[in-house]
Amino acid sequence: MRRFAALVLAAAVLYVPTAEAETVAAAAPGDATVVPVQVTGVPAKRFNLILMGDGYTEAEQARWRADADRHLNVMWSIEPFKSYRNYINVYRIDIVSGESGISCDPDLTSPRKTTPLKMGFWGQCNPNSVQRLITMDNAAANRYANMVAGTVSGNRQILAIGNSETYGGAGGSYATASGSNAMSALISPHELGHSLGGLQDEYDYYQRGVPGGHYTGPEPNSAHHSLLTEQQMREQQKKWWRWLGDDSESGGPIARYEGGLYTTTGVWRPSKHSMMKTLGYYFDQVSREVMVQRITAKTMVIQDSAPTAAPVGADRVLWVEPMRPVSHTLTTTWNVDGKDLPGDADSLDLRTLGLSPGTHTVKATVSDPSEFVRDPAVRAAITRTRTWTVDTTLTTPQDGVRPGFVSSTPTDRPLGRDDVVYVETTHPAAEVPAVTWTLDGKPLADTDGDVDLSQADLAPGAHTLTAALGGATLTWQIDASAPTTGYELSEPLVRSGDTYVYNGPFSMKLTGADDRDGYVVSESRVDGDGWFNYFGWPTSSELPWTFTEEGTVIDHLTYGKLPRGRHTIEYRSIDAAGNYGQAKSFTVTTIAPPPACTATVTGAHRGPLTVSSGVTCLKDAHVTGPVTVRAGASLVVQGGRISGTLSATGAAAVQLFNTRLDGALSVVRSSGVAVVGADLRGAAVLSGNGDAIMSGSSVRGALACSGNTPAPADLDVPNRVTGASTGQCGTLAAGPKGKAYEAVQHGGE
């Protein structure tokens, strides 16, 4: 992330960004330096997020800065922080610790550390607490926060980050998180959901591994927990009734899911797995609406306006300065004597109205049309008005104010291709300053204080936007190129292009890249479920994500559970400018794993092989002679070669994976039949089997299938059949050396 500070000067002087100092002078333990990371306005008119680190020694300050940057950049990729970024000032307090790390990390037998904020797991080493709870000395945190001039408890939020690789955090008056666990950057927005949003946990447990029991309390005060049925919500118009049925931002529909408030049954939440339930997903619509309300409540919807205290003349310009989201513009409606005027502008030249002699009432209403809000009470909270009395007998004296810039969207970091860019100007009483906007040297029709880049239909690449007024020019670089995402999967049984087949666990690694510096956030989603942040694996950000049929249990939580079958996995990235990359996808089909071996053959086996009972496994073996599988027995062949025929009747399972069979294959009235990635040099017959699979294999002779229930499946990885393909197998062949077969054999796209 590119950092910037800003100096707030006199009203007619531009708000000027400056570069952050990258060096930290030698300091004693406890010494601290305030670094403005993002300043979009004076603290009194903004929500001020103050990050402070604990347990980072002087030698570890670079690590602290990297941890803080990662936490921030992940936060900027999550709504509503992404859209309302301009509402937030961010200050980083670099605190030097005499000791590295925080107390009781990871357990109560671990050392207690002497650090400036006294951060520690187990609620600062309390055996009656829970391990993941990180608390601190709140009084100390406030003393450091008071170093940020202009901030007070009512307009700021403290986020303290501990120097730890262990999972943990807390949300109360202040939020805490560990700094460098694989999931740490997701802990921060979750804890801000508590501290800033007043949201509650949707966990169905308090102590991991211990079921939460049944909820026995009254209707919760929480906006996202309820005892009401969906019908009752609609009839009583309570809780999340306005969102019911919508596709959730975190996957599935907004509905009613049991569990929350640390209880397993008896209370319901709006979505299956929002951020307050499972780290990695977004806030669902219900929680997101609350977060919009809380962020905007710490700002001023109308930052400033023409004076309203005394009547004004009809010979002047009235104006308001609304807040400026990144994703959209606020709407300003002007009303004169009870009648709304057309248009949406932040200034009104009274001279154009032709007001009749006497007094008139003029009102400006600034509202936020965000689609994140449906509750009228929340909409009212993000709407503000200014009212003037206009007296036509008054004459406005000349004020000598010249048109010029006062503040703007920061110019020292690239803009996203869909951003709204703004400038604030001086406000001469006798004119509306006309801003000249140019995009790549071509004039734009806009002359007011903002430009919506999403309307410009920018081609990928770099672009330049300028705003000129009164001899001053501001310039922004636009990053209109989307980030790219690469994926890497563990070795499949077979593949065809972006279609893969596995019969056991598989791993996925995503790598986001961009043509500019900055942190890139990658995401994936399975079968249209919610987008999920790719952070590596819970135990290490360097490990790939692992999918298994039952999932992997880590600290009593299950990760990567993927039911058997066909799945579409989409993936994309978000760059530092906020651009979404194009979502692409691959398909994975998981089939049953082979049965457990009761006998294993490796190496060379000469002569016939008869499997009469149990499960015989050939692992990279070379069998010279015919192989026969009796009724009720099972054969699993992995790799290797059979120089002979293979026949099975009534077998419990016959599975060939990436093996070579020189003779004919005959499988009749058997179950568990899978021929995947095999090289069959003779003819093949599949008859009367159940759930047979032939995928990504080659058959040099004829292939005949009949009476199988259902018909054999190729799992979208075609086979190559040199001879005739008849019966149910007529659709399984791609033809001799077809493109699909080449992809299977050689991994081509």
In this prediction, residue 27 carries a pLDDT of 63
Q: Which amino acid is at 336?
A: V
- Closest C-alpha among 329, 352, 332 to residue 344: 332
Which strand (E) or helix (H) includes residue 740?
helix 739-746
* DSSP-assigned states of every residue in 80-107: TTTTTGGGEEEEEEEE--SSSS-BTSSS
Q: How many CB atoms lie within 10 A of CB 722?
A: 17
Instruction: Kindly report the length of the chain.
Output: 749
Q: What pLDDT is recorded for position 738?
A: 36
Amino acid at 472: A
Contacts of 727 (CB under 8 A, 6+ apart): 704, 705, 706
Q: How many CA atoms lie within 13 A of 743 on its CB side?
A: 16
Coil/strand/helix, residue 154? helix
Query: Given this model, what pLDDT does residue 2 score?
Result: 27
Q: 733, 680 in Cβ contact below 8 A? A: no
Q: Angle at CA 584, nearest 5°, toward 713 and 504?
A: 45
Query: What domains are defined for the chain?
Result: 5-195 (3.40.390.10), 302-391 (2.60.40), 405-479 (2.60.40), 484-590 (2.60.40.10), 599-746 (no CATH)
CA distances from 681 to 493, 662, 741 (A): 19, 5, 16
Q: Which two tokens stand for residue 407?
A: 């503040």
* pLDDT value of position 746: 28
State how far the Cα of 100 lies from the Cα of 105, in Å rounded to an integer: 11
Distance CA 416, CA 163 (A): 32
How confident is the model at residue 11, as a pLDDT? Answer: 24
Classify the phi-psi angles of 294: left when phi > 0, otherwise alpha if psi is within -120 to 50, otherwise beta.
alpha
Determine phi and psi for 109, rounding to 5 degrees.
Answer: -85, -5
Structure confidence at residue 216 (pLDDT): 96
Dihedral over Cα of 148, 150, 153, 154: its sign: negative
Q: Is 83 exposed, middle or buried (0-12, 13-18, 19+ CB in 10 A)?
A: buried
Give the closest residue to 287 by CA, choosing from 270, 299, 272: 270
One-letter amino acid for residue 75 of the chain:
M
Q: Are 510 and 583 a contacting pair, CB within 8 Å?
A: no
What CA–CA distance (Å, rounded) separates 18 from 4? 6
169-171/156-162 β-pairing: unpaired
Give the full edge-to-edge strand order of the sheet including 420-425.
405-408, 420-425, 450-452
**Helix, strand, or coil here: 605?**
strand
Assess whether the previous peptide bond of 403 is cis (omega < 30° from 0). Answer: no
Q: Residue 291 — φ and ψ, nearest 5°?
A: -65, -35
Cis (ω within 30 of 0) for the bond into 369? no
Task: Give the per-residue pLDDT at 490.
Answer: 98
At 26 the pLDDT is: 52
Q: Which residues of 392-430 are buried (b: 16+ CB within 10 A; e: fewer)?
A: bebeeeeeebebbbbbbbbbebbbbbbbbbbbbbbbbbe
Regarding beta strands 175-178 and 263-269, do their DSSP bridges make them parallel or antiparallel, or are they unpaired?
unpaired
Nearest to 303 by CA among 421, 427, 198, 446: 427
- Residue owning tokens 């990658």: 522
Buried-exposed string 28-59: b where 16+ CB fall within 10 A, e elsewhere: eeeebebbbbbbbbebebbbbbbbbbbbbbbe
Using alpha carbons only, what angle is made at residue 691 by residues 688 and 696, rounded to the nearest 5 degrees? 105
Contact 166, 150 (CB under 8 A): no
Which residues of the chain are modeled with pLDDT < 50?
1-25, 735-749
- Which spans in 33-171 are helix H? 61-76, 121-125, 138-145
Rounded alpha-carbon distances, angstroms, from residue 549 to 327, 365, 506, 507: 40, 55, 10, 12
Termini Cα distance of the chain: 35
The identity of residue 643, as a single letter, is S
What is d(CA 263, CA 266) in angstroms, rounded to the nearest whole number?
A: 8
Q: How far is it, in rounded angstroms, from Cα 195 to Cα 138?
A: 13
Alpha carbon distance 468, 433 (integer Å): 10
Q: How far apart are CA 274 and CA 251, in angstroms?
A: 8
Model confidence, pTM = 0.90
The answer to whether 564 and 550 have CB atoms below 8 angstroms apart is: no
CA atoms within 13 A on the CB side of 104: 21
Instruction: Name the helix (H) or strand (E) containing 376.
Output: helix 376-381
Q: Which two tokens stand for residue 103?
A: 């107390």
pLDDT score, position 198: 95
Angle between helix axes 184-195 and 61-76 (nearest 10 degrees) is 60
Amino acid at 162: G
CA angle 202/203/209 to nearest 5° reads 175
Distance CA 72, CA 70 (A): 5
Bridge-based pairing of strands 472-479 and 494-496 is unpaired
Task: Count Cβ atoms below 10 Å from residue 181 Cβ, excluding itself.
Answer: 21
- Please choose, from the candidates 577, 583, 566, 594, the residue with its C-alpha nearest in 3D space to the C-alpha of residue 523: 583
Q: How far does CA 624 lie from the centroid of its chain?
A: 55
Q: Which amino acid is it at 288?
A: R
Residues 534-563 as b/e (b if ≥16 CB within 10 A, e otherwise) read: bbbbbbebeebbbbbeeebeeeebebbebe
Angstrom distance (rounded) from CA 270 to CA 282? 13
Pairing relationship of beta strands 331-336 and 317-322 according to DSSP bridges:
unpaired
Distance CA 682, CA 664 (A): 5
CA distance readout (Å), 546 to 488, 537, 588, 692? 12, 8, 13, 27
CA dist list (Å): 576 to 51, 196, 598: 19, 24, 54
pLDDT number for residue 733 = 75
